[in-house]
Amino acid sequence: MVRDHERLRKIAALRPNIGWAAAAPLGIAIVFPAGSSLGEAYDEGRVTERLLTGAKLLGYGAGVAWFGEPPLQAEAKRILGIPEDRHARQIVTIGRATSTKDPRPTGPPRGRKPLSELVSYERWGGAKGSGRPR
C-alpha cells in the first residue's frame, strides 16, 4: 500500500499516460513472485478486478497505472523497494474524484466500436447468427 505522495508522483512520471496517478491518495501495488506461472498472471488480473469493483461499491474511484516495459517495471520496483525476486507491473490507485474532467492526456475515446468489430460468434471471425443452436 502506497500513501506517500512523492512516491506516487515518481510512479506516475514513469509513463506519460499514467500521470493522473500522482493525484491519487492511495495506491496498491500488485506484487507476486518472479518466475510466476501463467496462472499467477491470471490471479493478478482477478485481484485487480476485485480492487476496482470494491472501490466502486464503496463509492470511490479507482484506476490501474501499468508500469510498462521491463525497464520501467524495474524502476517502479526500485521506487517502491520491491525485491528483485518479485514482479510488479501495475499499481491500482483509489480515491475520490475531484473533477469530472478525464485526466488522461488523450481524453476518452469518442463513440464506441460496433459489436461486429469486437465480438466473434461460435468461432473467430464468425458473424452474428452463424452456427446458432436450434
Whole-number pLDDT of residue 122: 86
H-helix or E-strand containing 93?
strand 86-95
- 36 grid coordinates: 510466476
Residue 19 lies in a domain: yes
Residue 125 lies in a domain: no
Residue 29 lies in a domain: yes
- In DSSP terms, 92 is beta-bridged to 28, 64
Higher pLDDT, 130 or 12: 12
Residue pair 66/18 in contact by the 8 Å Cβ criterion: yes
- 61 pLDDT above the threshold of 80: yes
Give the distance, in angstroms, between the CA of residue 91 and the centroid of all CA atoms in the same chain: 7
Structural domains in the chain (count) = 1
Percent of the chain with pLDDT over 90: 60
pTM of the model: 0.76
Residue 129 lies in a domain: no
Q: Which domain holds residue 10?
A: 5-118
Q: Which CATH number goes with the domain that contains 96?
A: 3.40.109.10
Residue 91 lies in a domain: yes
pLDDT tens for 4-44 read: 999 999 999 999 999 999 999 999 999 998 876 777 888 89
